[in-house]
Structure 1
Amino acid sequence: MPPETAASTAQPATVETITFDAADGHPLEGTLTAGAGDGPLALISAATAVKRGFYQKFAESLVTEHGFRAALTYDYRGTGGSQSDRFKPRHISMSDWAMRDFPAALTRLEQSAPGHQVVGIGQSFGGQALGLSGVSGRFERYLMVATISGYWRNIGGGWKAFASMNLIASPVAAVLGRVPAGLGLGSGLPGGAFADWTKWCRRPDYFFSEPRFDAKSLYAEVRTPILAIGATDDPWGTPAARDGIMRHYINAPVETRWLDPQAAGGPIGHLDFFRSRFRDTLWPEPVAWLKGEKRS
């Protein structure tokens, strides 16, 4: 008999667009993919300027192929489907994404199957958000993909990024109140969040000296096991950039790993871990870790 494939053992799932509110009333939009499996619930938090749809194939794989009960992707406020005329883009802080939107999405996910174990997956800012959220204790495990400090001198091609953000996008944001798609910075950003990002990327300690919140103390509260993975061909994700974030998770058990694009079968870069072409090469080990299974 031929070996079983993921397609032949796939379980059915429902995919639903949902809306829910953050604690301050900002409406958020997400996609809830749910099945009948006994596995954990998974919250998937995006990188900066990446819409939730980018993660849908991964979310569906968790539910249909790996037995997760449900997976939720969502757009941060001011991006994708999470926009509101009542909240001006200039007044949206990047910290709102971590401290308001992230906890609201977690609560909505938990409501889909009360009492189920919850794990998290965060790409880039989605990994930074765990430390700022104040709700890390509700996760059994947390997978971080390409999570780095954005300090421009530590990232590959830093001068190019610095010029793009400060000399091109910043003047546009000052006039429009937001950064539109097409400027080389992803799918667009609200002006306030972009101003935070630009400011933090100029600082060697990123947001760890931000006066509006005590990031060092918040990160020290995290005790959730973390697996932080990065690709050796990620132009931004240098060892120094990754250490700029991970060294602040001082009380969490952190395991780090580098992914080899040659072994994976193609370029990975900063974002492409979640491309479905890596379903059989890059996804299985981290997913097994999220489920608490032993790796070979």
Structure 2
Amino acid sequence: MNPIIHETEHRFDARDGYSLAGLIIAPPTPKAAVLISSGTGFPKELYRRIARQGAAMGYACLLYDYRGIGGSAPSQMKGFAADIVDWGRLDFSAALDQAQALAPHGPVFTLGHSVGGHLPGFADNALLPAAHAFVCTSTGYWGAHEPSYRPSALFFWLVYGPACLALKGHIPSGGLWSGTALPRGVFEQWRDWAFKPRYFGDFLHELGPHAFDRITAPITDWTFADDTLASQRAAEDLMALYTAADKRLLRLAPAEVGAESIGHFGAFKQAAAGFWPRPFSWFDEVAAGLNPGGPVSDAVSTPAP
């Protein structure tokens, strides 16, 4: 018998009052909460399937769109000011508080895709989560991508993106960019970091307060062998920025989760349903360690509908 899962649209304010679009997917009585943070340009709806899996395993999940993305986009993108640090410092921090409130008596965890795994380090409440699950999280340094992907990355940074900014004032959806429209500031900051071998690692102090060296909650990053953007090297470089955490990097073949291919964002599509329980099963293990002798899990291991 499938558990009852509720889905509720939820708007809330970022740290500076900017209105963000969210979606709560949860069982009636959650045992813990999970904040699910998107990759760059991916709307929250991409993560609905894995959130339903989490809800089936007892977790209240909050999905949300960063400012400038999806349901949190302005009516006019040209001239809209936002960057990736804003996503972490203003949006992620507020969303984490919202997620914690969904299960106030249980722990809160994060599940971040790609840039969603960068944001905890910029949050003012970064020490709140009990663990962080990353999926395809890595630096975006172009030289750390797999060789086959590097020409495409350079074309995007040096030709396509600048042309879009000159013509539109932002990166529109469509063409060579398959995600949602991106604000100018997001593209320019991302591009700046992409040409530095340690990404933002060498100048974190210039970006303001951060917690990359203070987060001690365990981190697991699942990447996939056919992801040419989040290569093994790029994933290791990003994980190295979380200097105080107990870290684990797992690189899987798509066949290990029942898929023919996954790439950078296929882990959240139906073909990769075999992957969805893994982060939540790991959260169960972490929660059991927080509460020795307590119930480990009432998890549903099969993919949720």
Please list, as runs of the form range in 1=range in 2, the aligned pairs for 1:183-198 lying within 5 A after superposition.
Answer: 183-185=175-177, 186-198=179-191
1:203 corresponds, among 187, 196, 200, to 196
**1:162 aligned to 2:154?**
yes
Aligned equivalent of 1:29? 21
Task: Kindly provide the CA deviation profile for residues 204-235 of structure 1, in whole angstroms up to 9, marking residues without a partner as x.
Answer: 121222564158x6310111111111001111
Secondary structure in structure 2 of the residue aligned to 1:291: helix
Secondary structure in structure 1 of the residue aligned to 2:7: strand
Aligned equivalent of 2:264? 270
**Residue type at the aligned position of 1:246:** M
1:56 corresponds, among 48, 56, 76, to 48
CA distance in 2, matches of 1:210, 1:137: 18
**Residue type at the aligned position of 1:138:** L
1:289 corresponds, among 282, 286, 289, to 282
Percent of pairs identical after alignment?
28
Aligned equivalent of 2:132? 142
Aligned equivalent of 1:17? 9
Task: Kindly provide the CA deviation profile for residues 178-206 of structure 1, in whole angstroms up to 9, marking residues without a partner as x.
Answer: 11111323222111111111111111121
Aligned equivalent of 2:64? 74
Structure 1 regions of 5+ residues with no counterpart?
1-7
Q: 1:60 to 1:284 in 2, by over 3 A?
A: closer
Say if 1:20 and 1:28, in contact at 8 Å, map to a contact too: yes
Q: State the number of aligned residues.
A: 283
Say if 2:20 and 2:71, in contact at 8 Å, map to a contact too: yes
**1:93 aligned to 2:91?**
no
CA shift for structure 1 position 108: 1.5
CA shift for structure 1 position 14: 1.5
Aligned equivalent of 2:293? none
CA distance in 2, matches of 1:62, 1:263: 20
Please list, as runs of the form range in 1=range in 2, the aligned pairs for 1:116-265 lying within 5 A after superposition.
Answer: 116-156=106-146, 157-185=149-177, 186-208=179-201, 209=203, 212-214=206-208, 218-265=211-258
CA shift for structure 1 position 159: 2.1
Say if 1:169 and 1:183, in contact at 8 Å, map to a contact too: no
CA distance in 2, matches of 1:91, 1:251: 32
Higher mean displacement: 29-38 or 48-57: 29-38
CA distance in 2, matches of 1:53, 1:233: 23
Q: 1:89 to 1:58 in 2, by over 3 A?
A: farther
CA shift for structure 1 position 62: 0.9
CA distance in 2, matches of 1:26, 1:201: 27
Secondary structure in structure 1 of the residue aligned to 2:143: coil
Q: 1:49 to 1:87 in 2, by over 3 A?
A: closer
Please, what is the CA RMSD of the aligned residues?
2.1
Higher mean displacement: 13-22 or 49-58: 13-22
Say if 1:26 and 1:84, in contact at 8 Å, map to a contact too: no
Say if 2:35 and 2:110, in contact at 8 Å, map to a contact too: yes
CA distance in 2, matches of 1:124, 1:133: 16
CA shift for structure 1 position 100: 0.6
Regions of 4+ moved over 3 Å: 84-90
**Residue type at the aligned position of 1:61:** Q
Structure 2 regions of 5+ residues with no counterpart?
289-295, 298-305
CA distance in 2, matches of 1:89, 1:210: 26
CA shift for structure 1 position 116: 2.6
